[in-house]
Amino acid sequence: MTARTETDFMGEIHVPENVYWGAQTQRAFENFNIGDETMPIPVIRAFGYLKKAAALVNGSFGLLPDDKVRIIAQVCDEIIKGDLDGHFPLKVWQTGSGTQTNMNVNEVIAGRARKLSGQKLHPNDDVNKSQSSNDAFPTAMHMAAYDLLVTTTMPALKALYRELAQKSREWEAIVKIGRTHFMDAVPLTLGQEFSGYAAMVEQDIRVLTDHLPLLARLAIGGTVLGTGLNSPEGFDVKMTKMLAKFTGHPFVPAPNKFAVLAAHDDLVACHGALKTVAVSLMKIANDIRMLGSGPRCGIGELQLPANEPGSSIMPGKVNPTQAEALTMVCAQVMGNDTTLSVAGASGHFELNVFKPVIIYNFLQSARLLGNAADSFTRNCIRGLLPNQKTIQAHLENSLMLVTALAPEFGYDKAAVIAKKAHAQGITLEQAACDLGYLTKDEFRQLVDPSAMTRPFNIDK
């Protein structure tokens, strides 16, 4: 591969001829060959918007000539469209401020501008004007996180909520046995059970929505430490207005620039909300795969869609694969939350230097949860069916229907009925009659599974 020689204040370095980046990117490419994880493309897209806005705002202050503003904006549009993705090769595992990625973007814009127009732009003096990596990178972090949540994560969760709520309405009259401690309990309806799942997801959506304003607060204008050194007064306000116009998101200046450079509590808090989503979805997915276990030797109250063969050796076996995929995603998100907690707690003095790993894990969690929730909705919940024959058999066979007799006979006497029925393998009805407590008609009047799914009416 042919190479060209680039020079910066550290001296000369050879850069591949067919790339737009320059010396600083090349040094980072060679010095941080760690892992396979490259900087997430949503961060690069956010930088495209940021650098375009910065050029226009600098131009409005008279700090950048019109011809440079135009060519920077043109290249940024290419970055936003994804035309230059191959020119951002740097790994997540780099400097903790994200300086290498910021300079990668600056150099690509300058290199591409030179290719398009022949005009020489300086990556630092022109493209990075009025900015520092210390405020540009966290701004791109917030922009990328906000956009992914509202375009991927939350729409998928809303679709899952709607499907669960629909199942709840459809199944409101199907009475089944409930379970606590993995043991038989009293009746509820299948609709009630699914209303709980729907309410959990609805609450998760509400919590995420409440956290979004934290991500809308941008660090831009703080430059190095939060003081705004080398940026014009009002730069932050103009920048956030322009970024809001470009993206359609309600971005505003962070009220305290020192806080958003030195710490990332906003992202930690928002990821905490994502962790809560993972906790909820783990519970829902596990319940559904256990309720569908069998099909003949398990609980078998739900019939899960048969999407693909489940075994390479057992013919006809079908597994709850969507639940398995979702719960693995949830485990990953819970682990990512630990990473964010440690990284967020490790800000030192005026700068947190764990920025790349914070945004990498945040975006992974947001995307995985959105994709997995969408897949679970389409490939599992939508085609889920109740096995009413099995549901009825379990209901009739449960000893915990005896709970309906407790108000009539008291806890201890009702327990005698349940114990006798279990020991002799007979029904509760037969046990109550054998003990002389009730006639069959009296038992059937008192033990109504449907009535047990709601509070009793004191007036009756």
In this prediction, residue 90 carries a pLDDT of 98
In this prediction, residue 207 carries a pLDDT of 98
Residues contributing to the annotated binding site: 97-99, 122-125, 132-134, 180, 312, 317-319
Q: Are residues 158 and 265 in the same domain?
A: yes
Whether 431 maps to a domain, the answer reads yes
Q: Are residues 17 and 160 in the same domain?
A: no
- CATH value at residue 19: 1.10.275.10
Whether 457 maps to a domain, the answer reads no
Note if 311 is an active site residue: yes
- What's the rounded Cα separation, in Å, for the pair 331 and 377? 19
Q: Are residues 27 and 110 in the same domain?
A: yes
Residues contributing to the annotated binding site for substrate: 97-99, 122-125, 132-134, 180, 312, 317-319
Domain that includes residue 426, residue range? 399-449
Q: Are residues 111 and 191 in the same domain?
A: no
For 320, list phi and psi in degrees, rounded to 5.
-80, 65
In this prediction, residue 180 carries a pLDDT of 97
In this prediction, residue 456 carries a pLDDT of 86
pLDDT (tens digit per residue) in 257-266:
999 999 999 9
Report the predicted TM-score, pTM, of the whole model to 2 decimal places. 0.96
Whether 50 maps to a domain, the answer reads yes
For 45, list phi and psi in degrees, rounded to 5.
-60, -45
Mean pLDDT for each 10-residue chunk of the chain (460 residues)? 90 96 97 98 98 98 98 98 98 98 98 96 98 98 98 98 98 98 97 98 98 98 98 98 98 98 98 98 98 96 94 93 98 98 96 98 98 98 98 96 94 96 95 95 95 86
Q: Which of 129, 144, 175 finishes a domain?
A: 129
Whether 230 maps to a domain, the answer reads no
Whether 408 maps to a domain, the answer reads yes
Q: How many independent structural domains does the chain possess?
A: 3
Q: Are residues 313 and 406 in the same domain?
A: no
- What's the rounded Cα separation, in Å, for the pair 102 and 109? 11
pLDDT (tens digit per residue) in 363-389:
999 999 999 999 999 999 999 999 999
For 193, list phi and psi in degrees, rounded to 5.
-60, -45
Whether 425 maps to a domain, the answer reads yes
Note if 14 is an active site residue: no
Whether 154 maps to a domain, the answer reads yes
Rounded (5°) CA angle 289-291-297: 100
Whether 246 maps to a domain, the answer reads no
Q: Are residues 87 and 211 in the same domain?
A: no
Q: Which of 100, 129, 158 finishes a domain?
A: 129
Q: Which of 129, 151, 166 finishes a domain?
A: 129
For 212, list phi and psi in degrees, rounded to 5.
-55, -40
Q: Are residues 324 and 380 in the same domain?
A: yes
Q: What is the DSSP letter of 234?
A: T
* Average predicted confidence (pLDDT) for the chain: 97
Q: Are residues 209 and 155 in the same domain?
A: yes
In this prediction, residue 459 carries a pLDDT of 75
Residues 135, 222: contact at Cβ < 8 Å?
yes
Alpha helix positions (H), 251-296: 257-262, 265-291
Alpha helix positions (H), 171-303: 190-215, 235-247, 257-262, 265-291
Looking at 54-155, which runs of residues are DSSP E strands? none
* Annotated catalytic residue within 311, 348, 422, 450: 311
Cβ count near 31 (within 10 Å): 11
Across 128-167, b (16+ Cβ under 10 Å) vs e yields: bbbbbbbbbbbbbbbbbbbbbbbebbbebbebbbebbbeb
Q: What is 381-394 written as a DSSP string?
A: ITT-EE-HHHHHHH
Rounded (5°) CA angle 383-385-390: 155
DSSP H/E element including 14: strand 11-16
Q: Is the peptide bond before 295 cis (omega within 30 degrees of 0)?
A: yes
How close are the terminal C-alpha atoms of the chain, in Å? Answer: 89
- CATH value at residue 216: 1.20.200.10
Token pair recorded at residue 273: 């909300």
In this prediction, residue 106 carries a pLDDT of 98
* Annotated catalytic residue within 60, 142, 181, 249: 181
